[in-house]
């Protein structure tokens, strides 16, 4: 199951270790990356890089081999997220910045504790 739309364009994200892409779907702009084939700590590094790069109104899509449970407590003051298990056993996590974000996320905290 390929979750990256055909209209996606590769984009450069500072600090990322995997390719990132942008695309629009149903009027929403997305930033996307797939860390499902990477090992610790790359999913956390790329998630933080992607969240830091999000523009207003944009959502971040992460595809990973599991839900990044160590990430959620680090970002929950500023981001909402939805975890979706895909048919192929991978997980798709969709992040969006809260309208009342506290600005508490430390994007340099890439230690994986979960």
Helix (H, G, I), strand (E, B) or coil at 14: coil
Confidence of residue 113 (pLDDT cuts 50, 70, 90): low
- How many CB atoms within 10 Å of residue 37? 11
Mean pLDDT over 26-31 rounds to: 96
Residue 99 reports pLDDT greater than 50: yes
Residue 2 reports pLDDT greater than 90: no
Residue 91 contacts residue 81 (beta carbons within 8 Å): no
Judge: domain 9-97, CATH 3.30.110.40.
yes
Q: What is the residue extent of each domain of the chain? A: 9-97
Burial (CB count within 10 angstroms: exposed 0-12, middle 13-18, buried 19+), residue 41: middle
């Amino acid at each position: 199951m390929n979750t990256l739309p055909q209209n996606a364009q590769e984009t450069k994200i500072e600090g990322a270790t995997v390719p990132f892409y942008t695309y629009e779907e149903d009027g929403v702009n997305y930033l996307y990356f797939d860390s499902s084939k990477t090992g610790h700590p790359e999913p956390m590094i790329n998630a933080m890089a992607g969240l830091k790069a999000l523009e207003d109104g944009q959502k971040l899509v992460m595809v990973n081999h599991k839900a990044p449970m160590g990430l959620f407590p680090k970002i929950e003051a500023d981001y909402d997220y939805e975890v979706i298990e895909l048919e192929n056993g991978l997980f798709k996590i969709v992040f969006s910045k809260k309208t009342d974000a506290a600005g508490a996320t430390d994007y340099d905290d890439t230690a994986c504790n979960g």
